[in-house]
A and B are shown apart, each in its own frame.
Chain A
Amino acid sequence: MPSTQVPPIAGAAIDPPSLRPPIDDAVIERAAPSELRSRLETLKAGGYAMLLDLGAVDYLGRAPRFDVVYHLLALAAKVATVVEIGTPTRVRILCGVDEGQSLPTVSDLWKSADWAEREVYDLFGIRFDGHPDLRRIQMPYDWVGHPLRKDYPMRGPALERAPRPAFANKTNVVAGSPPSGRTLEALQEQVKRVREGRP
């Protein structure tokens, strides 16, 4: 049973995208942070009108530590039928980012990147230069820490384990006695009865 308190195996020397099995789900490319923006602009001009998703993965122990993943879909932004759309191409751009390094924003290319980049900042701590409003989106505005990092504890900061207030003590449960009545003595008694042939 995996314990929620034991952190998963650190991604040391593991780069799963480089070991991936031959699955035909997208054209996969790697881009460095400096060439990311120009690559995405080229792709957008080349027909990749939809930024399907923007997410991040934390490979703790690898350098660069994070991978920000951009999923793009080549879909013409016009009225089109199913036949015209056909099977669009998907592209996946993986960009390795270090701790403290920031990436250029793409929220001016695709408006949908706004919240996605805010979420990556909130949960991983990766900043995006040029974002109009980079603040936390999922966690409260004064939360400390970036929860989806691998070194962030599953249960959160210790202050959340505060003692329960007085009105939460459930006094109607008799401590120590199971509700079914099957205590050790009762079970031993039952075994004795069976061995002696009594009903």
Chain B
Amino acid sequence: MTVNPGQFMLARLDDVARWAQSSSVWPLTMGLACCAIEMMTVTSSEYDIARLGSEVFRSSPRQADLMIVSGRVAQKMGPVIKRLYDQMADPKWVISMGACASSGGIFDNYAIIQGVDTIIPVDVYVPGCPPTPDGLLYAVNLIQQQIREGGRGGILARA
């Protein structure tokens, strides 16, 4: 297979871009309920998500790459999450943290949206009620793996 030198340069640039994106995934502060407390714990000194590159949690969706939906999504909050997801710039990733965000969790009732993946596409699901901070760190690791090895991200593939 002949490799066009232009394509080769772009592929290398793509790798660099993916390396940069995976090393500095900045989450959006989307703390909803109990999982939000574990998300705050993951920023504290014992678990320290900053060493994985998530140095700051951005409050503005325009400045964030990763939306960690941590907590149960109520009926009133659904449109808000959809709007925030739309406001995030490409490429963006979503972690659905906890049982409630992944599938409605223990609340199989009128008030909770049964899984945030009915509103926005999710990349990694983290089980637990709430998941331990190590679980969330592993999820961020998986997102980094996804960025480096293909899928969304880089400069070649459109989101």
Interface residues, chain A, CB within 8 Å of chain B? 4, 138-140, 143, 147, 152-157, 160, 162, 164-165, 167-168
B13 proximal to A (CB < 8 A): no
Are B108 and A155 interface neighbours, CB within 8 A? yes
Cβ contacts under 8 Å, A164 to chain B: 117-118
Are B76 and A155 interface neighbours, CB within 8 A? no
Are B118 and A156 interface neighbours, CB within 8 A? no
Are A165 and B118 interface neighbours, CB within 8 A? yes
Are A147 and B121 interface neighbours, CB within 8 A? no
Are A139 and B76 interface neighbours, CB within 8 A? yes
Are B115 and A168 interface neighbours, CB within 8 A? yes
Q: A154-B108, A167-B117 are in contact. List 4 more A-B contacts (CB 8 A).
A: A4-B109, A156-B111, A165-B118, A168-B115
Taking a contact as CB atoms closer than 8 A, the residue among B108, B110, B117 that contacts A157 in the complex is: B110
Interface residues, chain B, CB within 8 Å of chain A? 75-76, 108-111, 114-115, 117-118, 121-122
Cβ contacts under 8 Å, A165 to chain B: 118
Name A166's closest neighbour in chain B (CB-CB).
B121
Taking a contact as CB atoms closer than 8 A, the residue among B75, B76, B108, B117 that contacts A168 in the complex is: B117
Cβ contacts under 8 Å, B110 to chain A: 147, 152-157, 160
Name A152's closest neighbour in chain B (CB-CB).
B110
Q: Once bound together, how far apart are the Cα atoms of A138 and B114, in whole Å? A: 18
A158 shortest CB reach to chain B, Å: 11
7 pairs across A/B with beta carbons < 8 Å?
A139-B111, A143-B75, A157-B110, A160-B110, A162-B118, A164-B118, A167-B117
Name B119's closest neighbour in chain A (CB-CB).
A165
Q: Once bound together, how far apart are the Cα atoms of A167 and B85, in whole Å? A: 15
Cβ contacts under 8 Å, B76 to chain A: 138-140
Q: Once bound together, how far apart are the Cα atoms of A162 and B111, in whole Å? A: 15
State whether A4 and B108 are in contact (beta carbons under 8 Å apart), knowing that A139-B76, A140-B75 are contacts in the complex: yes
The 4 A-B pairs at the shortest CB distance, nearest first, are namely A156-B110, A167-B121, A168-B117, A140-B76
Q: Once bound together, how far apart are the Cα atoms of A157 and B114, in whole Å? A: 13
State whether A155 and B109 are in contact (beta carbons under 8 Å apart), knowing that A162-B118, A164-B118, A168-B121 are contacts in the complex: yes
Q: Once bound together, how far apart are the Cα atoms of A58 and B134, in whole Å? A: 44
A86 shortest CB reach to chain B, Å: 37
Q: Once bound together, how far apart are the Cα atoms of A153 and B110, in whole Å? A: 8
Cβ contacts under 8 Å, A160 to chain B: 110, 114
Q: Once bound together, how far apart are the Cα atoms of A133 and B97, in whole Å? A: 37
Are A139 and B75 interface neighbours, CB within 8 A? yes
Q: Once bound together, how far apart are the Cα atoms of A54 and B13, in whole Å? A: 63
Q: Once bound together, how far apart are the Cα atoms of A139 and B109, in whole Å? A: 13
Q: Once bound together, how far apart are the Cα atoms of A27 and B66, in whole Å? A: 54
Name B117's closest neighbour in chain A (CB-CB).
A168
Cβ contacts under 8 Å, A153 to chain B: 110
Name A165's closest neighbour in chain B (CB-CB).
B118
Name A156's closest neighbour in chain B (CB-CB).
B110
Cβ contacts under 8 Å, A138 to chain B: 76, 111
Q: Once bound together, how far apart are the Cα atoms of A52 and B116, in whole Å? A: 36
Name A136's closest neighbour in chain B (CB-CB).
B76
